[in-house]
Amino acid sequence: MISPADMAATHAAAFTQARPWSAGEFAELLAQRFCHAEGDRSCFALFRVIADEAELLTIATHPDLRRQGRAKNCMLRWHDRARNLGATQAFLDVAADNHAALALYSAIGYTENGRRPQYYPRAGAAPCDAVLMTCDLSQG
């Protein structure tokens, strides 16, 4: 289990380009009946399952603990939970310049199915596209 305060701390350490989400924001999300968390302080994911669709809201691994398989394991665990809740498809969006996350999602079966041009603002640079990705959860 991970508390909203620990989520906020890991999120702030992990995300350098985006505004960190506060403990209060995490607590509000977790209070929603479709929203769930997986992981611990080293790596966690927040996801939502509505009917047969699951959406990844965020995932973060602490910068000191990367490339040890934590995010991959966390993704596979939340997929299992989403499947148990009835989801057959997962989706997410990711910045086109986030090469680590794109590699992670591709490695576990996500494929691109659309783009939102210039979706993410970038300080001092042009906005970055959002890549929309889906994964078939019925394949296990």
Out of 1, 32, 33, 103, the residue judged to bind ligand COA by CB under 6 A: 103
Rule CB under 6 A: say whether 69 interacts with ligand COA. yes
Do 96 and 129 contact (CB within 8 A), yes or no? yes
Q: Report in angstroms how near the CB of residue 57 gets to ligand COA at its nearest.
A: 9
* Number of chain residues interacting with ligand COA (CB under 6 A): 21
How far apart (Å, rounded) are the C-alpha atoms in residues 42 and 40?
Answer: 5
User: Which tokens belong to 106?
Assistant: 């591709």
Which of 67, 84, 117, 124 lies at the binding interface for ligand COA (CB under 6 A)?
67
Provide the 10 A C-beta neighbour count for residue 82.
24
Q: Does 54 bind ligand COA (CB under 6 A)?
A: no
User: Residue 112 is encoded by which pair of tokens?
Assistant: 């691109």
- Residue 136 burial (CB count, 10 A): 12
Closest distance to ligand COA from the beta carbon of 104 (Å): 3
Residue 137, CA distances (Å) to 4, 61, 64, 106, 113 in order: 27, 23, 30, 14, 16
By CB under 6 A, residue 98 contacts ligand COA: yes
* Candidate residues 50, 68, 118, 136; the one interacting with ligand COA per rule CB under 6 A: 68
Q: What is the rounded CA–CA span in Å between residue 20 and residue 139?
A: 34
Q: Rule CB under 6 A: say whether 70 interacts with ligand COA.
A: yes
Select 4 or 61, whichever has its Cβ closest to ligand COA. Answer: 61
- Where on the chain is the footprint of ligand COA (CB under 6 A)? 14-15, 43, 59-61, 66-72, 94, 98-101, 103-104, 107
